[in-house]
Amino acid sequence: MSHALDASGAGSDTPNLDFAGTTPYEDYVQADVLTHLQHLRSDDPGEMVFLVTTQVMELWFTVIVHEWETAARALREDRVPVAMDALKRSLRELEALNASWRPLAQLTPAQFNAYRSALGEGSGFQSAMYRRMEFLLGEKSASMLVPHRGAPRVHGELEKALQEPSLYDETLRLLARRGLPVPQSVLTRDLALRYEPSAEVEAVWTALYAEPDGGHADLHRLGEVLTDVAELVWRWRNDHLVATRRAMGAKTGTGGSAGVTWLEKRATKNVFPELWTARSHV
Ligand code: HEM
């Protein structure tokens, strides 16, 4: 075991400098690994921030997936306060994720072109962790597994996420266990399919929102936190859309899509749809 030394050798009220191997910080954070994963593909000085921003976003996706999986499990076990804590943490994380658009938000086409061709067919569309976020929100799609056929671990994780109840499925099951009239067809739906809005579910939320302090005040609060999540996800999609429009106009994407028009369609999708439509009836 190493002992405390200070730089002048005088006392022990300064940080320890003496480690036999790598520092305990390194052992925990693996900063050496993390800061040597930036393999640039061009000589353009602007590529570094593009790559690191993408990596930072991947890390935030990972944290947010962790929070939402924690929340989904807690809802399944009727531990609403635990789910609320995880969802609230995810709100602050989504804000940090969205703030990380700043370095890329004003790229000009010439700046982006300086390294764009070096990306080849690489596209965020192929991000497995983003896809897990979308699956947790109920935006399921088996065809989104296809790009990952060649990567067994990632494919396995996505396959599992496709079959598991989303955050919203767990919420609706909880509402049903609390005696609210969520239809059987929703409770027993094929979980691997995209969640489709239901008039009956909209009516359940309408009733909850009409009486926020009624017998289900905690479920009303849960509805509001999920609405915050939905809003911040919508903001991420829109910030991405606007950054893309600035950087490449109407060109096709590196992933082969129509680019901005494809992203526009994705951005209009409502997360947790009835939490939005119910508001018209309260
Ligand atoms: C300003 C730089 C960026 C541009 C111009 C851009 C462009 C695009 C385009 C055109 C698409 C549609 C698919 C395709 O054909 O490629 C797309 C999808 C996507 N991009 Fe970006 N992107 C940028 C930055 C980022 C960053 C930093 C991330 C962070 C990981 C990211 C994540 C994604 C994701 C997750 C999708 C799929 C969205 C979905 O499935 O709805 N993008 N991007």
103 C-beta closer than 6 A to ligand 1: no
247 C-beta closer than 6 A to ligand 1: yes
| pLDDT given at position 147 | 96
128 C-beta closer than 6 A to ligand 1: no
107 C-beta closer than 6 A to ligand 1: yes
Encoded tokens for 187: 């409770």
Between the CA of 80 and the centroid of ligand 1 the distance, in Å, is 34
| pLDDT given at position 12 | 76
Indicate which residue's Cα is closest to atom 21 of ligand 1: 124
For a mutational test of ligand 1's pocket, the pick from 47, 102, 125, 268, i.e. the residue with the most ligand atoms closer than 8 A to its C-beta, is 125
256 C-beta closer than 6 A to ligand 1: yes
| pLDDT given at position 3 | 46
Domain 37-281 has CATH 1.10.10.10: no
240 in a labelled binding site: yes
| pLDDT given at position 2 | 44
Indicate which residue's Cα is closest to atom 26 of ligand 1: 54
174 C-beta closer than 6 A to ligand 1: no
How far is 11 from 2, CA to CA, in rounded Å?
Answer: 15
| pLDDT given at position 4 | 47
Between the CA of 262 and the centroid of ligand 1 the distance, in Å, is 11
pLDDT 10s per residue in the chain (282 long)?
A: 444 444 555 567 999 999 999 999 999 999 999 999 999 999 999 999 999 999 999 999 999 999 999 999 999 999 999 999 999 999 999 999 999 999 999 999 999 999 999 999 999 999 999 999 999 999 999 999 999 999 999 999 999 999 999 999 999 999 999 999 999 999 999 999 999 999 999 999 999 999 999 999 999 999 999 999 999 999 999 999 999 999 999 999 999 999 999 999 999 999 999 999 999 999
Indicate which residue's Cα is closest to atom 35 of ligand 1: 124
| pLDDT given at position 53 | 98
238 C-beta closer than 6 A to ligand 1: no
212 C-beta closer than 6 A to ligand 1: no
